[in-house]
Amino acid sequence: MSWRNELSQNIKDDIDKLYNQSLDSAVYALSKNKRKKSGFPPYGMTLLGHGEIRIALVEYFPKSADAVDFLIKSYQEHRDEYKAVSIIFHVKLENEDKGIYIFLEHIEGAAVSIIVPYKRKGFFEKKIILNCENSVSKAVSREVWIPLEDIGDKQTKNIN
């Protein structure tokens, strides 16, 4: 994860805290999903200045991309309240595999995407087994803390 080398320890700590909570919540969402073949709708999490993490749920959107756009626009409007944000959604990978996609952005400049593959195991496939060794992470362009004049013009489809 070479993108981490350029970050201060405070930013790493914030990103790690939000990433861990985001991943845990996604595993919980998957384990509670009664339709085992599907994942979960996009949602977000925010890290407030004093360290509290809050979940950001969105109403139903027919397309996941619309829900992601809604979250990004909402984060942009309220960005002064946050230290870091995440967007979490389910993705299909190659060979019918599945993954948890987490986009993270910090107020001080870091933006990263992480995909964690997983498999379902056990009775009724309720147990979620993460394949963290095969996770893929990369630095991506910022979506939330961009210049205000760019907010209306920026396409928010670049988090992949």
Q: Domains of the chain: which residue ranges? A: 2-145
Rg, C-alpha atoms of the chain = 16
- Cβ atoms within 10 Å of 111's Cβ, excluding its own: 23
Query: pLDDT exceeding 90 applies to what percent of the chain?
Result: 62
Q: What is the mean pLDDT of residues 28-45?
A: 82
Question: What confidence tens digit (pLDDT) does each residue in 101-132 have?
Answer: 999 999 998 999 999 999 888 766 678 889 99
In this prediction, residue 37 has a pLDDT band, given cuts at 50, 70 and 90, of: low
Q: What is the mean pLDDT of residues 34-41?
A: 73
Residue 116's contacts (CB-CB under 8 Å, 6 or more residues apart) are 23, 99, 100, 102, 130, 131, 132, 135
Residue 46's contacts (CB-CB under 8 Å, 6 or more residues apart) are 53, 54, 56, 75, 81, 82, 84, 85, 86
> Is there a contact between 41 and 60 (Cβ–Cβ < 8 Å)?
yes
Q: What is the pLDDT of residue 153?
A: 55
Q: What is the pLDDT of residue 89?
A: 94
Note the pTM of the prediction, 2 decimals.
0.88
Lowest-confidence range among 76-80, 96-100, 136-140? 96-100
In this prediction, residue 151 has a pLDDT band, given cuts at 50, 70 and 90, of: low
Nearest to 156 by CA among 53, 38, 71: 71
